[in-house]
Every structure is written in C-alpha cells, then in structure tokens.
A and B are shown apart, each in its own frame.
Chain A
Amino acid sequence: NTTVICGIKAELANPTVEAPGKGYIVPNVDLPPLCSSRFRPGPPGEQAQAASQFIADVIESSEVIQAEDLCIERGKLCWVLYCDLMCLDYDGNVLDACVIALLAALKNTQLPEVTVNTETCTPVVNLEKRHGLNIHKHPVGASFCVFDDSILLVDPTAEEESLLTSQLTVVTDEAARLCAVHKPGGTSLSGEKLQECISRATVRQKEIQKLIDKVIHSVKTSQ
C-alpha cells in the first residue's frame, strides 16, 4: 500500500562557479506524519534525510539525467530540477517506490524552450515549444530484507521492516549495471547472497521499465 507522489518543479538559476556547465537536481524526500503514525511533525527525521541522500546518490551515480543537459548557457543560466517526493501512505519499502516515482515523473516532465536574449541578457521563455527531458538510464531499485541471515524477502511491508535484522536495496539500470548497492549495516551477508539479490533486481528492473513505458504511453495516447 505504499504510495509516493513525485512532483518536479523546474526553475532557472545561475550555475555555481565550480561547475559552470552544469545544472543541478535537488531531490527531497518527505515522510510527513500523514503517511504513518511513526513519523512526527517538524523537521525531517533521520529516515527522510537518509532517503533524500540515497535518491541524490542514485541520480548522480546512474546518470539518469546528465547535469550538462540542464545547462542553457554556460556559466550564466541553467535549470534546477526540484524533485519533491512525498510519501502519502507508508507501508514499507519507500526507497523503491521513490525511485520508481522519480523516474516516471522525470519521464513525463516537459521543459519549455529558453533562449537568452543577447542584448539584455535576460532569459526568454518560449512556452509553446516544449521538449521532454533526455533520460539516459532507467534505474530501478529492488529492496530485500534479511531475517537472521537465512531468509530473504523481497519488497518488505512496514510490518516486516519493523522485524527485520538487515535491509538491502539494489538499484540497477537497463544494461544490468549496478547504480547502488545500499546496505546500511545490519547482519552480514555473503557474496553469494548478494548475487542472488542482484539477479532478482535485474529482473525487477525490466518489469518496472516495461510498466513505466506502458503507463507513459497510455498517458500520451489519452491526451
């Protein structure tokens, strides 16, 4: 029953001095008290912060979008994509849901064309012309939970998460390359077990990519 909603907001900004040719993506995962009674109102808790960092790492490692693509004019203007991920219902395995929601949202984002007026140095936004983002990779996560290092479960629910001894998230893209193997502590796993998880994850990736493609297609046809 886990539900995650992802909104993408694009803004124009000045690129940083260190990376003049790059735009940036700012992901933020919000786990509001609405989604589960375990979260309290106030500043984001540790789990939400760790999830935000994880999503940021996935975006960077998998190169879903190349930061260079978000540049409009070198050193002057670039896009900033704010990816706000909000959990509406928490029933375990938010990380997978977040990655899928993010990917689907990115695939559906349309940016207007922006040109820089050379005389006044002001950006001109052409809302008529829109183009989708250039999605390079399709990373999809698969989470596993481990009970006493003998039992492995895929896609844990909230109840299972509260009982597990260790958690593992494997993110793969369509070329079966790994983007992240995230295991924050817990009981140990051998290389063989990890291999099992990775093969499951690659299958999962194909499944989800097919799903997203089909959904996006259906949205396009209906409009």
Chain B
Amino acid sequence: MKDTPLSNCERDFLLKAIEEKKRLDGRQTYDYRKMKIKFGTDYGCCFVDLGKTRVMAQVSCELVAPKENRPNEGLMFCNIELSPMASPAFELGRPSELSVKLNRQLERCLRNSKCIDTESLCVVSGEKVWQIRVDVHMLNHDGNLMDAISIAAITALCHFRRPDVAVQGDDVTVFSPEERDPIPLSIYHMPISVSFAFFLQGTYLLVDPCEPEERVMDGLLMIAMNKHREICSIQSSGGIMLLKDQVNHHDRKIASVKVSEITELITKALENDKAARKAGGRCGFAESVPQERITALKKEETSVEMTDVTDRASEIVEKAEVPSQTVPSPVVPVPGVGQVGQGLQDTWGLEEEEEEEEDEEGGEEQEEKEITMEVEQHEKDSRGGYFEFSPSIR
C-alpha cells in the first residue's frame, strides 16, 4: 500500500514553524517525547513507547556452532521487522532500504560496540555457543524509529535471562527455568542512539523528530553513545554538510545529556520490574493496559454455564442418523489399483496398465539400497452422492 503523501502546504507550514523554533506537538528543540518502557511476561521482552512510536523487542537464544575464526565467542544477531502494522508503506517479505539501514545501525550500536560479553556465552569451545537473537518489531511508526529500536533492544538484552547449562564430558544439559534459575547476560555498557534531524541545509536542528518532521528533514545524524560519554557509532545520512565543531561539541553535549536521562529511565524500569517479579505480582503486557481510557475494557475471570450443555450435545448425537454399517466392496481390476464409489467416469482408467508398471518399478527400487518406496494410490473420483438437507432439522 502507498503512504499518504505530505502536501506542499503541510511542508511549508512545518518548515516555517521550525524556523520560528516551534514544533508540531509543542515541544522545545531538544525535547524528547514522552517515553514509556514496559516489559512482557517473558524474560527479554520489552515494549517502548516514544510518543506514538511503538516498538517491541524480544530476545531469544539458542545453542549453535560458533564461527571458525572465533571458537570461544557467542554470537549475536539482530533482526528488525518492519511489519506493515507500523505503517502502510512497509511491505512484508523483501527488506527495504530503510530496514537495511536500521539493521546495520543497530548491529553497529550493539555488536561492534562490544556491549555484551560474548565470551561468557561460550558453552563448549569450538562446538557450542549461545546465539543471542534480538527481534525488534515495529508496531507503530511515528518517527525516530532508530532511537526507539536501540532503547528497546538494549533494555530487552538487560532484561533477558538465558537458561543455565551444565557440561559433562560431551553432553550438554540445558536446564529449564524451574530446575535452575536462568542467568542474566553480562552487559558492559548500554549504548543508546540519539537522532538529530537537520532542516534547511543544517541551519536548524531538532532532537527526536516525529514522522511529519522526518519527511521534511534534509539530513539525519544518529549518534550512539553510552553513559560514560563514549561514542559507539555515528551515522549521518541525507545530503548535508556538517561542521566538525558542530558534531564535536554541540551534538555530543546534547546526546550525552539525553543518554544519561534515558539510561536512568531504563535502570529504573528494570528495577521496578524486578521488584514486581520478586513480589510475585502479575507483570507483563496484560497488566499494562490503561484502565482509565474509554477504549479499554477488562473483564474478570468468568465461568461458563454448563447446564443443558450435555443435554444439547447428546440430543444432537442421538438425533443424527445412525451411519449405515454396510460398506460397498471395492473393485480391484488389476493388482495395485482399486476403485470404489460411483459418479463420473474416470478418464485415467485407461492407463491402469502403466500404473502397474510404475508400481513394480517401486518394488525394484525397494530392493536397491535406497529405501524409497513409491506407491501410487489412484484416487478415484468417488462421489458419495448428492445430499440436500432442509435447513431446520432440530
């Protein structure tokens, strides 16, 4: 499906507003939209709301063989799913330019910055290591997907627990969460991406652009940084020239402030969730549905009445005709071919002899080494007749 295009009118309006240092949703230039972090029932499942942008990340793991050149290191793999749910412009199946760009940025942000201790993911050197898989699903696209993705991914990684394993000789046993408590990943630092949108050849700059703003922007600069003010990656796209100073001082300063704010939020969210889990309270998506909104409704557990269910069921069974016990005997014209039923004349019948041969071929093959067996079951066009029922039997 095509996306609704932005009209010239809207474009001019937006640009003019930006020139006057005003934004559509009333934010200041360096403000982030309201951010919300929620966790699912599973470990490693995280929802991030950034204004109306909404993404979900799920971390999973499996045991695989490691890469030959790095036998002691676990693997990490990111997959960003631009599901058409987020925007009608996204299509399923082939990866778009945007999804490749986002995926590469996320991998650079997480894998190349070595934020996870991959060596701790090794189970048997050279044979079995954990592969950590991060699936990020877009649920609603309202601009600045990258920031939301990076926050969701790193939070999900922090939240994730992998099952415990034991190695005895060659055997590897994986313990279920009931048997042994799962282990959290060891994470060195939390890289978070901050996006800057540039307008009018870099004269104006906005943090956390929303979707209409993204459409009129000239360039985008994504800086991934951790709270120690170390830059993990910088990517600039769009045809703008940036002054070295501008990147070095201005943007870095803003980014570091934002990153420390977000990191604090994530830690707080993680702590909250941990406390909730410890207290044994219910957690997860089901609990996070806002009750006060009129669009939401919840109903307590209800029981279903069972009276007259049995009566009704037995009534139907008894009322139905008893199936006839006589069965027409099948006809076997030649060995290997059978026929039953009536109806249309089968036009394949003329080739019965050929089928016979095929069958025998199958038999010969059987005597050979391979254990293939081919049987041709010739399905006759056996129509059991034509029935018409009156609509009300009951």
User: Which residues of A are at the interface with B, using a C-beta cutoff of 8 A?
Assistant: 1-10, 17, 89, 91, 96-97, 100-101, 104-105, 108-112, 127, 130, 142, 149-155, 157, 190-193, 195-196, 198-200, 202-204, 206-208, 210-212, 214-215, 218-219, 221-223
Contact = CB atoms under 8 A, between A and B. Distances in A.
Interface stretch (B66-74, B232-240, B384-392): B384-392
A192 B384 contact: no
Interface stretch (B203-211, B268-276, B288-296, B322-330): B322-330
9 contacts: A9-B372, A105-B375, A108-B375, A154-B383, A154-B385, A192-B320, A202-B323, A203-B324, A215-B330
A195 B300 CA distance: 34
Given A7-B374, A191-B316, A207 B340 contact: yes
B369 A127 contact: yes
Interface residues of B, number: 56
A104 B320 contact: no
B332 interface: yes
A193 B313 CA distance: 13
A91 B381 contact: yes
Given A195-B316, A214-B330, A215-B337, 13 more contacts: A4-B377, A89-B348, A101-B375, A110-B366, A110-B371, A152-B389, A192-B320, A195-B317, A199-B323, A215-B336, A215-B377, A222-B336, A223-B363
Contact of B382 (A155, A192, A198): A155
B77 to A, nearest CB: 21
A192 B369 contact: no
A46 to B, nearest CB: 13
A151 B372 contact: no
A211 B330 CA distance: 5
Contact of A192 (B319, B340, B374): B319
B375 A104 contact: yes
**What 6 A-B pairs have minimum CB-CB distances, sorted nearest first?**
A222-B335, A218-B335, A195-B320, A211-B330, A104-B377, A215-B338
Given A212-B338, A218-B336, A221-B335, A153 B373 contact: no
A149 B392 CA distance: 11
A207 B341 contact: yes
B335 A219 contact: yes
A111 B387 contact: no
B96 to A, nearest CB: 20
Contacts of A101: 375, 377, 379
A8 B372 CA distance: 6
Nearest to A154: B384
B371 to A, nearest CB: 5
A223 B377 CA distance: 17
Given A104-B377, A111-B371, A199-B322, A214 B347 contact: no
Interface in B214-241: none
B323 A8 contact: no
A161 B346 CA distance: 19
Contacts of B336: 215, 218-219, 222
B377 A196 contact: no
Contacts of B166: none
Contacts of B343: 155
A156 to B, nearest CB: 9
B383 to A, nearest CB: 5
Contacts of A2: 379, 381
Contacts of B324: 203
Contact of A6 (B327, B375, B382): B375
A199 B335 contact: no
B387 A153 contact: yes
A100 B373 CA distance: 16
B101 interface: no
Given A150-B389, A154-B385, A192-B319, A17 B174 contact: yes
Contacts of B316: 191-192, 195
A203 B321 CA distance: 12
A112 B365 CA distance: 13
A7 B372 contact: yes
Interface-central residue, B312, B332, B339, by most chain A CB under 10 Å: B332
A1 B381 contact: yes
A204 B385 CA distance: 12
B16 interface: no
B181 to A, nearest CB: 21
